[in-house]
Amino acid sequence: MLLSHLLHLEGIASVVLERRSREALEKTVRAGVLEHGTAELLKEVGVGERMEREGSVHSGIELRFGGRGHRIDFADLTDGLSITIYGQQEVVKDLIQARLETDGQILFEAEAASLHDLDTVSPRVHFQNDGEEEEISCDFVAGCDGFFGVCRDGIPENARTEYERTYPFAWFGILVEGPPSTEELIYTLHDRGFSLVSTRNPEIQRLYFQCDPADKVENWPDERIWDELSTRLATHDGWELADGNIFQKDIVQMRSFVCEPMQYGKLFLAGDAAHIVPPTGAKGMNLAVADIQVLAHALAEFYRSGDTGLLDAYSETCLHRVWRAQRFSWWMTSMLHRFDRSDPFQLKVQQAELGYVTSSRAAATTIAENYVGAALG
Ligand code: DHB
């Protein structure tokens, strides 16, 4: 959706094949943290107005462990940079609206089925539309169909390498109607596991806690969730978690994954089709936006001058940022989760690491500049 908008601004036509309905897209709650550069881009390209009005700018986070909170001050450590809290589905809503207002072509409930002739001047995409198989031929295919989409398979197996790590835990996520407990996000390490206090707006809160990947939402009645969160988030000075009405529960699986290269012939993969990060550090949507910015720029250059230099460099350009974000997400995940509760040594080392990153300005800077996105480019 963002690529289609950026291409439109360059006078380049595109068709978006969207597997889901507009309603489902606009309702599904996903991530909510926009890096500094992501928020700036949305403003620059004319889709940031509601984000500026309804989103909230945060200039730090709290890391909590051993019953105490420690603030990482992004503004101080990165020359004034910040993050913006604004739900991914809100970004999607704004983009859909912008595209439809300018007669953009979005086919909803149209699922890409297979890709053809990717190494020719006229690649084709087959897709399902109203139960019929249809075909589009085009100059380029942007594979933005997520981890489970068909596009990645457009790169022949012998031409790609996949790097992967799975984690022995997942995140249990809840949406709560109620007041915020805190002004900034809180990432907590506790003997019983990780937890995170986030928000969507002054009325809706988003919280997560580490759980078993095989766990089920049904195993967690509201009271058990509040008990677990209160235990993990407790501080020596009696901090209290504001409660509210839990209206959604979900389980988020954790994975690190990268496909190299991200391009084959006329196919360019972007976002989760090419890479997945575990959610700790909130890089997923931001990486997708960064890929799209590179791709839109490269396509604009091609249509302006015929020069394929930026397109040829697409994969390498993106993978640089992707691996930096992979490292950061893997590191934050490793520092903040219990991998094995029977291993007290690991907990002690994690607590020592958190002690270091919250007391050394140099170490705190490595979190701040990666979190706001300044160290990834
Ligand atoms: C949220 C998600 C994240 O992965 C994270 O690190 C911080 C916040 C969120 O959904 O609000």
Q: For the chain, what percentages of helix, strand and coil (3-state, to nearest 5) are there?
A: 40, 25, 35
Give the ligand 1 atom nearest the CA of 279.
4
31 C-beta closer than 6 A to ligand 1: yes
Q: What is the pLDDT of residue 213?
A: 97
Q: What is the pLDDT of residue 135?
A: 97
Q: CA 146 to CA 152: how far, in whole Å?
A: 9
CB atoms within 10 A of CB 156: 11
Q: CA 269 to CA 273: how far, in whole Å?
A: 6
Distance 281 CA to ligand 1 centre (A): 7
Question: Which residue among 167, 206, 207, 331 is best mutated to probe the pocket of ligand 1, counting the most ligand atoms within 8 A of its Cβ?
Answer: 206
Q: Whose CA is nearest to atom 7 of ligand 1?
A: 282
CB atoms within 10 A of CB 175: 17
Q: With H, G, I as helix, E, B as strand and everything else as coil, classify residue 132.
A: strand
What's the burial of 185, exposed, middle or buried (CB within 10 Å: 0-12/13-18/19+)? buried
282 Cβ contact list (under 8 Å, min separation 6) = 31, 32, 33, 83, 371
Give the ligand 1 atom nearest the CA of 198.
11
Among 76, 106, 74, 113, CA closest to 2: 106
Residues annotated as catalytic are 58, 187, 279, 283, 371
**How many Å is the Cα radius of gyration of the chain?**
21
185 C-beta closer than 6 A to ligand 1: yes
**Tokens 């009645």, located at residue:** 221
77 Cβ contact list (under 8 Å, min separation 6) = 361, 364, 365, 368, 369
Q: With H, G, I as helix, E, B as strand and everything else as coil, classify residue 88.
A: helix
Q: What is the pLDDT of residue 30?
A: 86
Q: Whose CA is nearest to atom 3 of ligand 1?
A: 282
CB atoms within 10 A of CB 172: 25
Helix then strand count (H, E) for the chain reads 12, 21
Q: What is the pLDDT of residue 31?
A: 86
What is the token pair recorded at 263?
């391009």
Give exposure, 244-278, as e/b (b: 16+ Cβ within 10 Å). Answer: bebeebebeebebbbbbbbbbbbbbbbbbbbbbbb
pLDDT 10s digits, 164-196? 999 999 999 999 999 999 999 999 999 999 999
176 C-beta closer than 6 A to ligand 1: no
Distance 87 CA to ligand 1 centre (A): 10
CB atoms within 10 A of CB 130: 8
Is the pTM of the predicted complex or chain greater than 0.85? yes
Return per-residue pLDDT of the chain as tens, 377 residues.
Answer: 999 999 999 999 999 999 999 999 998 888 899 999 999 999 999 999 999 999 999 999 999 999 999 999 999 999 999 999 999 999 999 999 999 999 999 999 999 999 999 999 999 999 999 889 999 999 999 999 999 999 999 999 999 999 999 999 999 999 999 999 999 999 999 999 999 999 999 999 999 999 999 999 999 999 999 999 999 999 999 999 999 999 999 999 999 999 999 999 999 999 999 999 999 999 999 999 999 999 999 999 999 999 999 999 999 999 999 999 999 999 999 999 999 999 999 999 999 999 999 999 999 999 999 999 999 87
pLDDT 10s digits, 100-133? 999 999 999 999 999 999 999 999 999 999 889 9
Q: How many CA atoms lie within 13 A of 16 on its CB side?
A: 25
